[in-house]
Amino acid sequence: MDFRNNRLLNLHWRMLLYFLYCSRFRIGLLVFIELIISINSKGDWLMQGIVMSITPKTVPMLWFFIIIYSQLMVGDSSRKMVKIFFPHHIRFSLTNLIISVFLTNTFITCISGLVILLKCSPPFAIYTFFVIWTLTISFSLLSLFIKPIYLHLFSIILLICVTYLDWPKFLSYTMISRFQAAKASFNYFTLGIILLTVVIFTNIKIKNFDFYQ
Amino acid sequence: MPIIKLDHVSKTIKQRQILDDICLDLNQQLVYGFAGANGSGKTMLLKSIIGFVHPNSGSIEVMGQKIRKDVLFSPKIGFSFGTEGLLPILDGKTNLQLILSAESLPSPAKKIEAMLELVGLDPHDRRKVKSYSLGMQERLSLGCALINDQPIIILDEPTNGIDKKGQEFLVTLIKDLKKRKKTVLLTSHDEKFLALVSDQIYEISEGRIIE
């Protein structure tokens, strides 16, 4: 199969390149690399979060940054891709464009996931990868209908709740100090429900969507 | 039977009436011009016909298909909205390649090169679109509208950024499209240009059609 003549593959590849070319992504990647190089060599410290027996005084910033990094990198790019790029290339189905969004989001999430995997145990790293992936995809799809700034604010409030209230549990487990491998499997189910809900919501709302700048 | 039919189409955005109860029957193989001040609703009308904008009420039918009901967007329309939709980090050829639908053609590359030459661009120019002048981007956008040889062509402000020679080229092109039995819808602030190319002109003001 000639890649150049396969428009679908070409589309997905172009979308990824378009995203990588975005200055926000390149700057964010540099910041991320700089941060990771500067941290302690002990892997557990990376996602330690708060120590359970002590009342947290501040949100653990490194954990916070790693969880929210992918969303910050996505920003409004999904919104632009669907609202502006898609209508001008309408021979591709909307499903294929959403797949492109999934692929670029997965790529970004892999950056965080790889770092966590290098520094932390595989069960924890895999679980955290899926949490970040679900949050990033949900952010991308919801940003079609809700301004990204409001979604960022919601994410920040959620992470603060996780720090001080230990809720929601599926997010709380992204801190090593709170992670329980045995109970994590139930949270995978929760992640699946969240993703399915967002995808169904998108399918319903997209029919009344306005595709313009 | 009209090729495009708008039946009591209205659209409100942030409590502002953009389109107000528009009823329009457009017949095939004619050139329709839409004139009006900035913000009158010309572009929104064209985008509604394609399906980019979902009307709050009314229905739009293009070649027998109800837009947003039978299809999300009409597949029968080639369109140009200035520089919107062009990918600035790609060259002109790749932009057209992403739009070209007939991948079963034995040599799509030749078709793309021919289209670039038709609109006055160099097929061997590897520069990214972001380094094009406004006029060049408009020409590329025109190529995007024409590449798939669709029966309906929509051009929004095609005279933007175009010099006198470019305007002459546009006039010739639109007349050629009419000879090839295309239906053309276009907007412009240049009433002389519209009068030169259009079979019928509609004036739009505050979202309403004034014939």
Give ipTM to 2 decimals.
Answer: 0.80
Q: Identify the pLDDT of residue A136.
A: 92
pLDDT class for B102, splitting at 50, 70, 90?
very low
> In this predicted structure, what is the pLDDT of residue B61?
96
Q: What is the chain B residue with the closest CA to A9?
A: B98
Q: In a 3-state reduction of DSSP, which class is residue B59? A: strand
Radius of gyration of chain A (CA): 18
Task: Of A76-80, A183-187, B201-205, give the lowest mean pLDDT range.
Answer: A76-80
pLDDT of B132-145, one tens digit each?
998 899 999 999 99
In 3-state terms, what secondary structure has residue B133?
coil
Query: Which pLDDT value is given to residue B202?
Result: 95
Task: Give the pair of three-digit tokens for residue A46.
Answer: 């990376």
Taking CA–CA distances from B74, the nearest residue in chain A reads A90
Closest CA–CA distance from residue B150 to any residue of chain A (Å) = 12
Q: Considering only alpha carbons, which residue of chain B is nearest residue A210?
A: B53
Q: Residue B104 pLDDT more than 50?
A: no
Backbone dihedral region of A121: left (phi > 0), alpha (psi from -120 to 50 degrees) or beta?
A: beta
Residue A51 binned pLDDT confidence (cut-offs 50, 70, 90): low
Touching check for A18 and chain B: CB below 8 Å? yes
What phi and psi, each to the nearest 5 degrees, are found at residue B81? -120, 60
pLDDT confidence tier of residue A84, bands split at 50, 70 and 90: confident
Domain ranges of chain B: 4-76+150-209
Nearest beta carbon to residue B53 from set A17, A89, A212? A212
Among A24-28, A37-41, A181-185, B166-170, the minimum mean pLDDT is found in: A37-41
Return the higher-pLDDT residue of B106 and A209: A209
DSSP assignment letter at A75:
T
Distance CA A206, CA A94 (A): 9
* Gap from B203 CA to chain A (nearest CA, Å): 23
CA of B54 vs chain A CAs: smallest distance (Å) = 6
Over residues B175-198, the mean pLDDT reads 93
Confidence of residue A178 (pLDDT cuts 50, 70, 90): confident
Residue B98 is nearest to which of A14, A207, A213, comparing CB atoms? A14
Structure token pair of residue A140: 């991308």
How far, in Å, CA of A201 to CA of A55, rounded? 38
CB contact under 8 A, B87 and A18: yes
* Chain B residues near residue A11 by CB distance under 8 angstroms: 98
Q: Is the CB of A89 less than 8 angstroms away from the CB of B85?
A: yes
**A201 pLDDT above the threshold of 70:** yes
First to last CA, chain A: 36
Does the distance separating the beta carbons of A87 and B85 come in below 8 Å? Answer: yes
A100, A11 in Cβ contact below 8 A? yes
Closest partner residue to A89 (CB to CB) among B52, B89, B98 is: B98
Residue where the block lists tokens 């947003």: B68
* Other Cβ atoms within 10 Å of A132 Cβ, number: 26
Q: Is the pLDDT of residue A52 over 60?
A: no
Q: Find, in chain B, the residue whose alpha carbon is nearest to that of A94.
A: B72
Number of Cβ within 10 Å of residue A44's Cβ equals 13
Q: How far is A176 from chain B (nearest CA, A)?
A: 41
Q: What is the mean pLDDT of residues A183-195?
A: 91
B84 vs A contacts (CB less than 8 Å): 84, 88, 213
Whether A144 contacts A82, CB under 8 Å: yes
Q: Tell whether the model's pLDDT for residue A11 goes beyond 70.
A: no
- Chain A residue numbers touching B50 (CB-CB < 8 A): 87
Residue A90 has pLDDT above 70, yes or no: no
The pLDDT mean for chain A works out to 79
CB B155 within 8 A of CB B149: no
Q: Which residue has 């005084």 as its token pair?
A: A57
Return the residue of B nearest to A87 by Cα.
B52
The CB-based long-range contact list for B162-167 (8 Å cut-off, 24+ gap) reads B162/B135, B162/B138, B163/B135, B166/B120, B166/B135, B166/B138, B166/B139, B167/B193
Helical H runs in chain B? 42-50, 92-99, 108-118, 134-146, 164-179, 191-197
Of B54, B72, B87, the CB nearest to A210: B54
Query: What pLDDT does residue A8 have?
Result: 63
Q: What is the dihedral of CA A11, A13, A18, A23, to 10 degrees?
A: 160
Q: Inform me whether the C-beta atom of residue A3 falls under 8 Å from chain B C-beta atoms.
A: no
- In terms of average pLDDT, the best of A75-79, A104-108, B73-77 is B73-77
pLDDT at residue A198 tops 90: yes
What integer pLDDT is reported at residue B90 of this predicted model?
84
Q: A18 or A171, which is more confident?
A: A171
Q: CATH assignment of B4-76+150-209?
A: 3.40.50.300
Burial label, B81 (beta-carbon count in 10 A; 0-12, 13-18, 19+):
buried
For residue B130, the chain A residues in CB contact (below 8 A) are none
Q: Which residues pair with B203 in a beta bridge?
A: B35, B210
pLDDT over 90 (residue A77):
no
In chain B, what is the straight-line distance between the N-terminal and C-terminal CA atoms, in Å? Answer: 20
Does residue B156 register a pLDDT over 70?
yes
Please give the average per-residue pLDDT across B75-103, as a whole number.
Answer: 82
Contact: A212, B103; criterion CB under 8 Å = no
Instruction: Decide which of A99 and A190 is more confident.
Output: A190
Residues of chain B positioned with their CB less than 8 A from the CB of A209: 54
Q: Is the pLDDT of residue B103 over 50?
A: no
Q: For B11-38, what is each residue's pLDDT tens digit?
A: 998 889 999 999 999 999 999 999 998 8
DSSP 3-state of B106: coil
Cβ(B6)–Cβ(B24) below 8 Å: yes
**Average pLDDT over all residues of chain B:** 90
Position A69, amino acid: Y
Measured in angstroms, the CA of B85 and the nearest CA of chain A are apart by 5
Q: What is the pLDDT of residues A157-170, one digit of tens each?
A: 999 899 888 889 99
CA distance A66 to A62: 6
Q: Which residue of A has its CA nearest to B12?
A: A210
Q: What is the mean pLDDT of residues B161-190?
A: 91
Task: State the pLDDT at residue A22.
Answer: 67
Residue, of A126 and A56, whose pLDDT is higher: A126
Identify the bridge partners of residue B178 per DSSP, sorted by sequence position.
none
- Position B116 scores a pLDDT of 94
Strand order in B183-187's β-sheet? B77-80, B152-156, B183-187, B31-35, B200-205, B208-210
- Decide if pLDDT at A153 tops 50: yes
CA-to-CA dists, residue A95 to A112, A138, A200, A209, B18, angstroms: 26, 16, 12, 15, 30
Q: Which stretches of chain A are assigned E, i.e. beta strand?
A: none
Could you tell me what percent of chain B has a pLDDT over 90? Answer: 65
Beta bridge partner(s), residue B6: B24, B60
The closest alpha carbon to A208, from B73, B54, B46, B18, belongs to B54
Smallest Cβ–Cβ distance between B84 and the set A209, A210, A213 belongs to: A213
Q: How far is B87 from chain A (nearest CA, A)?
A: 8
d(CA A73, CA A23) in angstroms, rounded, equals: 10
Among B72, B144, B146, pick the best mutation site for testing chain A contact (most A Cβ within 10 A). Answer: B72
Asked whether the beta carbons of residue B75 and residue A91 sit closer than 8 angstroms, the reply is: yes
pLDDT over 80 (residue B185): yes
